[in-house]
Amino acid sequence: MAVLGNSTRRNISDVNEWFSLTITASAATAEAQRYSGYGPGNGYGSNPNYGNYAAYGNFDPEHAMRVRRIHGILAGVAMAAFFPTGSILMRVIPGRFALWAHALTQVAGLILLTVAVAMGLQLVQEVGRVGINLWDREDVNYHLIIGLVVLSCLMVQPVLGFIHHAKFKKQRRRQVWSYLHLFNGRIFITLGIINGALGLWIAREPSRYKALYLTAAVAMWSLWMLVAMFGEWRRWRERRKATGRSRKSSYDGDVPF
Task: Write out pLDDT tens, residues 160-181.
Answer: 988 888 887 777 677 888 889 9
Q: Which of 128, 130, 152 lies closest to 140 in space, CA to CA?
A: 128
Task: Write out pLDDT tens, residues 135-153.
Answer: 998 889 999 999 999 999 9
- With a threshold of 0.85, does the pTM exceed it? no
63-237 adopts what CATH topology? Four Helix Bundle (Hemerythrin (Met), subunit A) (1.20.120)
pLDDT for the residue 109: 97
Report the sign of the C-alpha dihedral through residues 241, 243, 246, 252, in that order.
negative
The residue ranges of every structural domain in the chain are 6-56, 63-237
Separation between Cα atoms, residue 96 and residue 229, nearest integer Å = 21
pLDDT for the residue 233: 84
Q: Is pLDDT at 42 greater than 70 in this prediction?
A: no
Which pLDDT band, with edges at 50, 70 and 90, does 74 fall under?
very high
DSSP string, 105-151: HHHHHHHHHHHHHHHHHHHHHHHHTTT--GGG-TTTHHHHHHHHHHH
**DSSP symbol at 53:** G
Q: Is pLDDT at 38 greater than 50 in this prediction?
A: no
Q: Is pLDDT at 77 greater than 90 in this prediction?
A: yes
Q: Give 199: exposed, middle or buried? Use CB within 10 Å, 0-12, 13-18, 19+.
A: buried
Least confident residue range of 42-56, 111-125, 183-197: 42-56
Q: In terms of pLDDT, which residue wins out, 122 or 164?
A: 122
256: three-class secondary structure by DSSP:
strand
